[in-house]
Structure 1
Amino acid sequence: MPIGEICNREVVIAETSLPVTEAAQLMRAHHVGDLVVVEERAGRRHPVGIVTDRDIVVEVVAAGVNPEALKVGDIMGSDVATVREGEGLFEALRYMRDKGVRRMPVVDAAGGLVGILTLDDLLGLLAEEMMELAKLVSHERQRESVARH
């Protein structure tokens, strides 16, 4: 199944110039743990980084830095790992594991942002698939029991 079919297409974005305090407020308002930092290129948004709630806690709050003095570009992870929307689920999971990330922007062939893939979303999807497999096993047992009587 291509990642483009299962990724979340409602991505909360920010530009590098957004103040950190506004980034935190944006995360709170949208109930998300990250913002994809984008740059406009040829009329398309291209991911250039990610800033997470953990980045804000570790790099700003715990370090005692004044959040008013920082922009998203100052604390974002700039080595952003992306996955193309045509990639399969297994490949995306492997790539997330290899890169050690829980969130990954999904891009089209030109590198434009189309969605985001999160570990939480994947766990939910896989749990649903496992539930369907369990129902299949249970159904087969019932069918076999009826057939033997």
Structure 2
Amino acid sequence: MPISECSNSKVVSCNADAALPEVAALMRRHHVGDVVVIEERDGRRVPLGIVTDRDIVLETMALDLDAKLFTAGDIVMGPAVTVGLDAGFVETLRLMRQHGIRRLPVVDASGALAGIVTGDDIVRLLSLELSLLTGAIASEQRQERRLRKSMP
């Protein structure tokens, strides 16, 4: 199953020159903890990196700096680690583990932003798959008991 099946295509994004208070307001408005920082290239939105709520706190507030003086581009951790639309779960999880990240922008073949996938998205999908498998196992056991009772 390609990772695009569990990624979110509604990505909250901003340009690198967005002021941090604007980035924080985007997070609040959309109820997310991250914003993908993009650059427009030939009509494509190309991810440069991700700014998280934690980045804003650690890079400005924790250092007693005025967040209004910084932009998303000032604190974005780049270059962006991305995953292709057709990548599988294992490849995606390896990228996350290798880079110590929980969020990955999903890009199309041209490198344009197509979505975002998080560790939470993957856990949610795997939980559903495991639940379905557990249900199938339990159903199989009930079916076998019924069949065996009806056999002479």
Above 0.5 in TM-score?
A: yes
Gaps of 5+ in 2: none
Instruction: Give the length in aligned residue pairs.
Output: 149
Report the secondary structure of 2:60's partner residue: helix
- Is 1:116 the counterpart of 2:116? The answer is yes
Aligned to 2:147: 147
Matches within 5 A, 1:45-84: 45-84=45-84
How far is 1:120 from its partner?
A: 0.7
Tell me the TM-score normalised to structure 2 length. 0.95
Aligned to 2:34: 34
| Alpha-carbon distance between aligned partners in 2 of 1:93 and 1:118, rounded to the nearest angstrom | 10
Report the secondary structure of 1:62's partner residue: helix
How far is 1:5 from its partner?
A: 2.3
How far is 1:133 from its partner?
A: 0.8
Tell me the TM-score normalised to structure 1 length. 0.97
Aligned to 2:17: 17
- What is the identity, as a one-letter code, of the residue corresponding to 1:128? L
Gaps of 5+ in 1: none
What do the CA deviations read for 1:40-61 (whole angstroms, capped 9, x no partner)? Answer: 0000100011100110111111
| Alpha-carbon distance between aligned partners in 2 of 1:31 and 1:66, rounded to the nearest angstrom | 23
- What is the identity, as a one-letter code, of the residue corresponding to 1:121? D
- Is 1:2 the counterpart of 2:7? The answer is no
Q: Alignment RMSD, CA only?
A: 0.8
How far is 1:90 from its partner?
A: 1.4
User: Who wins on radius of gyration, i.e. which is larger?
Assistant: 2
How far is 1:88 from its partner?
A: 1.0
- Is 1:92 the counterpart of 2:89? The answer is no
| Alpha-carbon distance between aligned partners in 2 of 1:71 and 1:121, rounded to the nearest angstrom | 28
